[in-house]
Amino acid sequence: MSTLPPAFLAASLALLMPAAMSPLLAQTAPQQAALSDHAKAENKAERKPSAESAQPQAAPVATANPAAQKGITGKAIDKVKEVAKSAGDIFSRVPCLPPKGASKSMGSLPRVASKLVAGQPVVIVAFGSSSTAGFGATSPDFNYPNRLAAQLRRQYPTADISVVNAGKGGEDAPEMMKRLQTAVIDLHPDLVIWQVGTNAVLRNLDPAETAKHVEEGIARIQAAGADVVLIDPQYSPRVNEHAESAGKMMILLNKVAELRKVGVFPRFAVMKDWHEKQAIPIENFVIADGLHMSDWGYACFAQLLGDDIIKSVGQIKLGVTVPADVRAYRPM
């Protein structure tokens, strides 16, 4: 009576591993305290070999029972995919919450609202520097313009909404003004979301000069008929090293917004709230360079910005005109 070779037994055990391991993955993934990009990258790296290893191991027993083995392997792969999908949900472990005490709107967006009501295409241009371009995101899908586009399309499923990413790393108001016409106005936008001021702070440029450029730019955008929302600098270690300049920048941007009657999404205050009031570690929303946002940071920023846009559009649809309120998200 012959005995099975040890190599065959080892191979047979290996075949069962994907199906056996997948429930363990399903139990482990929700328990991880992952939020930083580094942690998510490790999780993906651990799951990917499991899915890949399931396929080549199916070949040795294909002649014995192809249907049964296909079912086992298929279930293992499906389970791994489910785990990966769950882990890919950025807000599955730490939700994206608005700042505590927030109750004010950033103002109305009449152009966008009127286009949506009329069933006409809506063009949004995200104008800015590297945090608009999405530096620090692990994929273009996770930059804020793409996350915002996905949210608005879910909210308005029958609308034709385009979000154009006009972010260019390293720039601030002087460089942006040089391409304002071609990168923004020539696209005939209905809304321009202008992220500005961070690089000026890091370069120790005069905040007053930045404010002058921004005021001129807003005037040109408004003359083209578009709504405008300003995005101020981010709360991050690199920016916080220039606290005095950053403070002046935000004050001046708010004054310009009030003068030109446009909204401001106060990114600095929102991110500060994440850390100081919601107790989220900075490394969970800022990458290792101490400046740029992580996947979660971009996603939550986009979510809150999108919520404000949806609220503003809803007010116009109801016939309520709300003036731009640059005190949005300030503590009550």
Q: How far apart are the first and last CA of the chain?
A: 84
- Choice between 259 and 324, residue whose per-residue pLDDT is larger: 259
- Contacts of residue 296, defined as CB under 8 A and 6 or more positions apart, other chains included, come to 35, 36, 90, 91, 94, 284, 285
Its CATH class, for the domain covering 110-317, is alpha beta
Whether pLDDT at 125 is above 80: yes
How many Å is the Cα radius of gyration of the chain? Answer: 25
pLDDT exceeding 70 applies to what percent of the chain? 68
Summarize pLDDT for 168-200 with one digit per residue, the tens.
999 999 999 999 999 999 999 999 999 999 999
Angle between helices 6-28 and 37-54 (to 10 degrees): 140
Q: What is the pTM of this model?
A: 0.71
Whether pLDDT at 263 is above 70: yes
Domain ranges in the chain are 6-88, 110-317
- Choice between 84 and 179, residue whose per-residue pLDDT is larger: 179
When mean pLDDT is compared across 8-17, 113-122, 207-216, 271-280, the lowest value belongs to: 8-17
Cβ-count burial 218-255 (b if 16+ within 10 Å, e if not): beebbebebbbbbbbbbbbebbbebeebbebbbebbbe
Summarize pLDDT for 68-77 with one digit per residue, the tens.
555 776 665 6
Q: Are 246 and 268 in contact (CB under 8 A)?
A: yes
Summarize pLDDT for 273-302 with one digit per residue, the tens.
999 999 999 999 999 999 999 999 999 999
Whether pLDDT at 153 is above 70: yes
